[in-house]
Structures are given as C-alpha cells and as structure tokens.
Amino acid sequence: MQYLHTMIRVGDLDRSIRFYTEVLGLKLQRRTDYPDGKFTLAFLGADETSEPFLELTYNWGVERYEIGTGFGHVALAAENIYKACELIAQLGGKVTRAPGPMKHGKSVIAFVEDPDGYQIEVIQK
C-alpha cells in the first residue's frame, strides 16, 4: 500500500487554495472540475512527485461543513517553525497555538487554522 492523499471538504475553493499556497507554501498540482458530479477537486503538495497530497473537495453550492469530532489535523513540517508561524500570521493566517515544545514530548509544534476551521499542525523539522 502507498499513502496518496487526505481529502477535506471546503466551502470556498479559491479561498482555500490561496490559504494553502500563499500562507502555507504548498503548490497547486492540479485542479479538475467535474460538471456532471457538480464538484471540483484540487490537489496540493510540496511538488508534483511528493505524495501524499492534500485534496480539497468543493461540492458546488455548499458553503460550509461541520468538521466533526473525528477529524484531528493535517501536519506539515517547517525548517524554522518560529519564522513560519510569524509569516503565517503576517499573511493573515490564524495561529491558534504558538510554537513551543509539546506538553509530553520534545517536538516543537504549533497549530494553525485554515479558512474552514481545519487544524494544521506545524512541526519543527
């Protein structure tokens, strides 16, 4: 088995693509409309050969989803978590947990919220 992607549903695809590309630095790999199904898929990643990808699904006409209690977060690694979070905030991103050590571990982490309320964990490389 090979892990390929994680899919989340979004209420405004262009807004979400801007957030993940301009604020978090991912690259839009492909975007495809499915008129018969009335949905659009966008795949984002570090580069076109680096799976896994983040798949954003926009169901035409649906502006909001309940995140639910089963979803945890998407995790991204940063070379310098402090600078990354500073830049995220400058670009309008919402840092919900400032960078710092985990409560019961040694990893340095932070959390950011995307425009739909999904949690993104940023981990120091």
Active site residues: 121
Q: Which of 98, 110, 85, 109 is nearest to 25 (CA)?
A: 85
Other beta carbons within 10 Å of 103: 6
**Do β-strands 108-113 and 119-124 pair in parallel, antiparallel, or remain unpaired?**
antiparallel
Kindly list the strands in the beta sheet with 53-59, ordered across the sheet, starting from the edge strand earlier in the chain.
5-9, 53-59, 39-45, 27-34
Angstrom distance (rounded) from CA 45 to CA 51: 7
Give me 31's structure tokens: 């975007």
> Which of the 8 DSSP states describes residue 39?
E
